[in-house]
Amino acid sequence: MMDFRNVDKLNRRDMIRGTAMLGAGAAFMQPLPLWAQSGTMTDIRKAAEAGKDASIKRIRDWIALPSIAAENRSMAEGAAYMAELAKDAGFTNVEIVPTDGHPGVFGTIDVGAPRTLGIYFMYDVKQFDPAEWSSPPLEGQMVERPGFGQAIMGRGAVNQKGPEATFLAALHAIRAAGRKLPVNIVLVCEGEEEIGSPHFRQIATKPNILAALKKCEGIFIPFASQGKTGNVTVNLGSKGIIELELIASGEKWGRGPKGDVHSSLKAMVDSPAWRLVQALQTLVTPDGNKPAIEGWYENVRPLTDREKSLIREAAKAGDEAAQKQALGITHWIDNLSYPDALTRLAQEPTVNIEGLVAGYTGPGGKTVLPGKAVAKLDLRLVPNQTRAEAEKKLRAHLDKHGFTDVEVNVSGGYDPTEVAEDSRLVRSELATYKKLGVVTSINPRMAGSWPGATFTAPPVSIPAAHFGIGHGSGAHAPDEYFLIDSTNPKVAGLVDATMGFAEFLYVLAAIK
């Protein structure tokens, strides 16, 4: 693994030849007719290093403003702050975009370049309980992460404010170095990603925003993609998701109490909580591992031979023991082998219970029979499933099994995302990682979700993906962090991650 500081010294012939580090994606590499002019990256790095303290402050100040869509907390302030960040980084025509929910932000940088890149941001974060954190979640304190180095800790640090602020740092560094951006940039940002992006399509299809997006070679979300080995996985898509609640209540059922009653009455009163449990049991096979909703697999596209081979290659490079340790498990589902478990991870749609709430859940007992029970679910979708199809089939399934009274309240979601392996966006990612000396593998589909389908589907219809080096962890969990000063020579700290984004812009401008 090379020192990231030396990437601008790479021999051009070595950059465009040699494919060992690119793994299966090498077949799609094209020679690059032009890299950044000599000295450009050196100047940009000097500017990035000089602006490091300002970059850290930018992340810390952003962490201090927690815009939480699920709690309707500081959403207007979050959008306004995002707009100011965009203006400060050089975006013009910046506007706060109203929706039927929380607002988005849009802006452009037009330098008259032949190519345009789209960038997707989210300014919202997940909820948090300060009591669960070892460092105050809104203070952005520096902490030591063994095996990585000094990191900034706080809600949103890695998901996604740290990586997003690092991309902005690249724009600041390029400008401070007196260099012209090699591509035009379109920024589209939302504040509802953490609740399933229920109104994001309204932003992306607003006429002026849609017109700008359709000019883009593709769009990516900034991402901290490195673990301890420094290797990166390039994902050719992501699963879709639906977030919802199933609610069983005595009021809707017409049986059981309308409110909580004494538990001794269970001998003669129906239980909405058991009603919900029975409804949930019909959604999956007895072991809970496979959706059993009628027609659920009707449109599921099986993995291709190419996709299966990519997964097998990724399994060879993966660390199964470390992954199990990180997850706190000892076995994969159905006792599958590691390659088979990874294949199932990419292939299978899921029905997951996020949480169950009914009656009293505090210390000790309260001997009540609850009048209402709620299950929070997420349903992960794979190509060629759609959100609309899945919602319709879930409702039909519950009705068929006699649960017409069980309410289905969908809060958000979107379709799966797919991006072509030979798209200019993906080839630019692979070429940039190659230039940076980062070992890559290609994965057919990320098990997680993001609203990339808003871009890949009509009317936008452009490639969408993740990109970025650097490291962070703890998304949606306590002690979330983003690496600033790396002590691991294989993993990028803040300045190197900043340079990774700068490199990508020049590669995208040059690649055929």
pLDDT in tens, 478-487: 999 999 999 9
> What share of the chain has pLDDT > 70, as a percent?
93
Query: Taking the domain 4-238+417-510, which CATH number applies?
Result: 3.40.630.10
Q: How far apart are CA 111 and CA 147, in angstroms?
A: 41
Q: What is the DSSP string of 19-51?
A: -GGGGGGGGG----S--SPTTHHHHHHHHHHHT
Q: What angle do CA 234, 239, 241 make, to 5 degrees?
A: 145
224: DSSP letter:
-
pLDDT, position 37: 54
pLDDT at 211 over 70: yes
The answer to whether the beta carbons of residues 296 and 382 sit under 8 Å apart is no
Average pLDDT of every residue of the chain? 92
pLDDT band for 205, please (50, 70, 90 cuts): very high
pLDDT at 64 over 50: yes
pLDDT (tens digit per residue) in 80-128: 999 999 999 999 999 999 999 999 999 999 999 999 999 999 999 999 9
The predicted structure's pLDDT at residue 371: 97
Token code pair at residue 270:
């129906």
Burial classification of residue 137, based on how many CB atoms lie within 10 Å of its CB (0-12 exposed, 13-18 middle, 19 or more buried): buried
Fold agreement between 4-238+417-510 and 243-300+333-414: no
CATH class, domain 243-300+333-414, is alpha beta
Residue 412 and residue 380 in contact, taking contact as beta carbons nearer than 8 Å: no
Which residue's structure tokens are 């519950």? 398
Q: Which residues pair with 69 in a beta bridge?
A: none
| Least confident range of 136-145, 192-201, 216-225, 316-325 | 316-325
CA distance 506 to 109: 15
Cα–Cα distance for residue pair 452/378, rounded to 1 Å: 18
Give the start-to-end residue ranges of the domains of the chain. 4-238+417-510, 243-300+333-414
DSSP letter for each residue of 281-306: HTTB-TTS-SB--TTTTTTPPPPPHH
pLDDT classification of 20: cutoffs 50, 70, 90 = very low
Taking a C-beta distance cutoff of 8 angstroms, is the pair 442, 24 a contact?
A: yes
| Residue 38 pLDDT | 53
Alpha-carbon distance of 156 to 138, in angstroms, equals 9
* Separation between Cα atoms, residue 239 and residue 172, nearest integer Å: 33
Q: Pseudo-torsion of CA 165, 168, 169, 172, nearest 10°?
A: -150
Which pLDDT band holds residue 12 (cuts at 50, 70, 90)?
Answer: very low
Q: Which residues contact 263 (CB under 8 A, 6 or more apart)?
A: 367, 368, 369
Contact 387, 415 (CB under 8 A): yes
Residue 14 predicted with pLDDT over 70: no
* Cross-strand bridge partners of residue 306: none
- Cα gap 17→28, rounded to integer Å: 12
Spatial separation of the C-alpha atoms in residues 47 and 338, rounded to whole Å: 44
Residue 501 has pLDDT above 90, yes or no: yes
CA-wise closest residue to 164 among 107, 100, 223 = 223
